[in-house]
């Protein structure tokens, strides 16, 4: 090959990954436990505001959420207020990956403002009562990453918000950590995509606050969160560093090897909020451990946390705005330099699961595999009937899983046991157990009926090309070596984005487990809403 032909290839291979708007907002990178501007190595301390309207307060809409980064007129209306409030970061809780975000993201970039975005949306988020990490979640999260990764002023992504919120549901955390792991891997493996951090936003529950921070920061670099946020509402009114709890929290989290910050803050027990905590948060008392914070929130709503009141294109400044402006515009932080930070990647030990307040396994659910699910579904000889509504799946699950072992589709975040089919679609998982029962009954036609809810699939195919990863995955499916259908088988003020029960892992489901399945499917069909 001539050199002139080879040169473009070499340039392509060695060219840096550029994102939109890098001239005004250079990408933020992590060194040690802090954020830094990638172009000059100076520290980035979040001076953030939560920015997402509650759609229930918007007339003439059936939306479950409104994408704040797709509303250009609102962005134009609000960006001047963000600048007046010395803002360099906005948190958004749900975006629509099908909409255009260029204009808003450019407006924000010109103002020096970065975005930290939650990957979920109200109807596709990890449910703390019946947690799962499945294809629907994976597809939603990767769509958001694909959409926002092109902008240099995207600081990072939250894989979950307050999913575990007390000691009764710590078993949900492995599913969120699996989401962190898989989204980090997705970003790493995507050609031309810059490395964008993925983390978690927790509540400040006294029983779990230390364990959950350690859990998301522990283990391998591939699995752990890149950063950790806490929705912090301890400082109310005229408090102090010591009496508010800030001192205790700083000492408790100073060992974390990743950046930590207030993913929400601003107690409203007394209004107007004075925001006297701002000076302390950005002082040397805290800035070596904490990377700033995000005030909850911009819009005044029923929960009374707003800085402004909106009426169409009109913005009314509230007293909270005035007090916050006075404080945030008078901070004098001491900024670190990336060159002075420890660059070695360190990890910490995962919390003990024997505790009565923390029972989340360090073993994580598998990565959802769409190709496997679609391939294996073709092998089922007994499937759920086409005319069965998903809202009726719960009753069918209760029936069939009372007769056979359904552990192949079950999950248990406490023991770390996850069925090989647990990440597939609800239809495919139900068809899997129907098929399992059908074979258990020696392919008797009456065993594939369930009052008309199941039917025999005459077009079942071999599983030989499905990349079967374990012997269990070949059970209950049409065997690659079978020659007929008689193949044998064996058997806070926060916008929390989850609903409020562990899954059992037994040969025949208990009454409790059956009820859980019915409830799980009902929750999925009904959707999951932000808790305001």
User: Do 316 and 453 fall into the same domain?
Assistant: no
Question: What is the number of structural domains in the chain?
Answer: 2
Among 340, 357, 391, where does a domain finish?
Answer: 340
Query: Would 95 be classed as within a structural domain?
Result: yes
Last residue of a domain, one of 465, 500, 516: 465
CB 303 within 8 A of CB 269: no
Are residues 382 and 336 part of one domain? no
Active site residue 395: no
Q: Which of 264, 300, 327, 461 is catalytic?
A: 264
The per-residue pLDDT for 494 is 55
312 and 453 belong to one structural domain = no
Return the pLDDT at 388: 95
Identify whether 390 is part of a domain: yes
Could you tell me the residue range of the domain that residue 164 belongs to? 28-340
Weakly modelled stretches of the chain, pLDDT under 50: 1-15, 468-491, 497-532
Q: Are residues 238 and 382 in the same domain?
A: no
The verdict on 310 and 444 lying in the same domain is no
**380, 306: one domain:** no
Q: Are residues 293 and 157 in the same domain?
A: yes
Query: Is 237 within a domain?
Result: yes
Catalytic residue among 29, 106, 162, 327: 162
CATH at 258: 3.20.20.80
263 within 8 A of 213, measured Cβ to Cβ: no
Q: Considering the domain boundaries, does residue 88 fall inside one?
A: yes
* Residues 123 and 85 placed together within one structural domain of the fold: yes
Q: Answer whether residue 510 is part of any domain.
A: no
Q: Identify the residue whose tokens are 């509402």.
A: 233
How far, in Å, are 305, 410, 453 from residue 389 at the CA level?
Answer: 40, 21, 10
- 240 CB-near residues (< 8 Å, 6+ apart): 280
Judge whether 480 lies within some domain: no
The verdict on 314 and 448 lying in the same domain is no
The domain that contains 460 carries what CATH number? 1.20.58.1040
Nearest to 382 by CA among 326, 325, 328, 428: 428
Q: Are residues 383 and 329 part of one domain?
A: no
Tell me the two tokens of residue 259: 């950046």
The 3 state secondary structure assigned to 397-416 is HHHHCCCCCCHHHCEECCCC
Contact criterion met (CB below 8 Å) for 375 and 381:
no
Boundary-marking domain end, from 410, 441, 465: 465
Six token digits for residue 301:
């709503």
Residues 379, 312, single domain; the answer is no
Task: Indicate if 301 belongs to the active site.
Answer: no
Could you tell me if 203 and 311 lie in one domain?
yes
Q: Which of these, 496, 494, 30, lies nearest to 225 by C-alpha position? A: 30
Taking the chain, what is the end-to-end CA distance rounded to the nearest angstrom?
A: 63
CA atoms within 13 A on the CB side of 97: 17
pLDDT of 514 reads: 41
Asked whether residue 187 is domain-assigned, the answer is yes
Does the residue 321 lie in any domain?
yes
Query: Would you list the DSSP string of 333-362?
Result: ----BGGGS--S---BPPPPTTSSS----S
pTM of this structure: 0.86
């Amino acid at each position: 090959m001539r050199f002139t032909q080879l040169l473009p290839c070499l340039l392509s291979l060695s060219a840096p990954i550029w994102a939109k708007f890098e001239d005004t907002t250079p990408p933020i990178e992590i060194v040690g436990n802090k954020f830094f501007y990638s172009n000059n190595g100076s520290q980035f301390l979040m001076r953030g505001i939560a920015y997402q309207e509650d759609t229930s307060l918007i007339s003439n809409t059936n939306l479950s959420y409104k994408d704040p980064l797709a509303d250009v007129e609102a962005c134009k209306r609000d960006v001047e207020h963000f600048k007046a409030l010395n803002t360099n970061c906005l948190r958004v809780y749900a975006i629509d990956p099908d909409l255009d975000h260029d204009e808003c993201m450019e407006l924000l970039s010109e103002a020096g403002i970065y975005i930290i975005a939650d990957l979920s949306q109200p109807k596709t988020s990890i449910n703390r009562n019946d947690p799962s990490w499945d294809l629907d979640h994976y597809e939603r999260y990767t769509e958001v990453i694909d959409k926002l990764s092109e902008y240099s002023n995207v600081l990072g992504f939250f894989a979950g918000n307050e999913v575990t919120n007390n000691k009764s549901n710590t078993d949900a955390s492995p599913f969120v950590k699996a989401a962190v792991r898989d989204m980090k891997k997705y970003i790493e493996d995507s050609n031309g995509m810059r490395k964008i951090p993925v983390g978690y936003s927790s509540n400040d529950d006294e029983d779990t606050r230390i364990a959950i921070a350690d859990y998301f920061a522990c283990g391998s670099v591939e699995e752990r969160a890149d950063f950790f946020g806490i929705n912090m509402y301890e400082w109310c009114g005229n408090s102090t560093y010591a009496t508010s709890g800030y001192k205790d929290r700083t000492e408790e989290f100073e060992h974390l090897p990743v950046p930590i910050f207030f993913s929400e803050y601003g107690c409203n027990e007394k209004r107007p909020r004075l925001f006297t905590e701002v000076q302390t948060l950005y002082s040397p008392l805290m800035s070596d451990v904490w990377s700033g914070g995000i005030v909850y929130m911009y819009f005044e709503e029923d929960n009374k946390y707003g800085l402004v009141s909106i009426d169409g294109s009109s913005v009314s400044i509230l007293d909270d705005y005035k007090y916050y402006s006075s404080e945030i515009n008078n901070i004098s932080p001491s900024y670190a330099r990336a060159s002075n930070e420890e660059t070695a990647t360190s990890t910490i030990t995962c919390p003990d699961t024997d505790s009565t307040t923390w029972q989340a396994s360090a073993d994580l659910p598998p990565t959802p595999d769409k190709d496997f699910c679609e391939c294996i579904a073709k092998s089922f000889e007994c499937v759920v009937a086409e005319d069965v509504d998903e809202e009726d799946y719960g009753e069918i699950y209760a029936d069939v899983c009372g007769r056979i072992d359904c552990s192949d589709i079950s999950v248990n975040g406490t023991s770390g046991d996850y069925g090989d089919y647990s990440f597939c679609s609800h239809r495919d998982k139900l068809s899997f157990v129907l098929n399992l029962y059908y074979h258990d009954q020696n392919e008797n036609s009456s065993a594939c009926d369930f009052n008309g809810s199941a039917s025999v699939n005459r077009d079942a195919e071999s599983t030989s090309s499905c990349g079967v990863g374990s012997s269990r995955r070949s059970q209950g499916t049409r065997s690659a070596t079978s020659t007929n259908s008689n193949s044998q088988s064996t058997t806070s003020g926060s916008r929390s984005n989850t609903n409020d029960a562990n899954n059992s892992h037994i040969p025949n489901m208990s009454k409790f487990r059956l009820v859980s399945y019915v409830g799980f499917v009902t929750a999925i069909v009904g959707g999951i809403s932000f808790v305001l």
